Structure 1
Amino acid sequence: MAVSENYWIPRTLEDPPLFFVWEMDTAVVFLTSMIIFLLFSSPIIGFFVSLWLSKSYARVKEQGGVSLFGSFLYWYLPVDLSKRYPSFIREYVGH
């Protein structure tokens, strides 16, 4: 018996957190859209639309589109993330 056979190697080290059978971010898409439709008193339509949205999100994420979402949020949300200060300035006056 070789030395390497004595060690157990975990296979689920990088598995994402789950909410029942869905990954957490997919469940958030489903639950958020379902809550919005429940607020408008249309739970049946909301269930099917939420299911479609979560499946579409999971499919895009599976094909590597997560960076597409990040790029979209970076370029189209009104956030000042694109304004970077010069790295040579170590102290700002008044801060």
Structure 2
Amino acid sequence: MRTTTQGSDSLLRALRVAADVVATVGEERIETVAVHCGRISLHPNHLAEGEQIAKLLGCSFAMDHRMLVPGSTDWSGDFDGYEVHVRAELRRLVGALG
């Protein structure tokens, strides 16, 4: 993914976009927001809601982190020109046993 923002106001714009992201999903659902020039990362209050939040924001790329304990899935996508990442519960593979 590439960012479309450049220049001295890119961090301020990132903060505005982060505020829009939080307003879109609901402030009560988000525990932590990390804002960088060109990237916004969200950690939901409940990881079980992470995938739903990610899809609401248009994040459709998933990276499973199975070696971590507990495992998690990082959903990513683009929101208003910014790369957005949402942490979620580890996805269960279709057809997986257990």
TM-score by length of 1: 0.30
More strand by share: 2
Bigger relative contact order, structure 1 or 2 (CA pairs below 8 A, ≥6 apart): 2
TM-score by length of 2: 0.29
**Larger radius of gyration, structure 1 or 2?**
1
More helix by share: 1
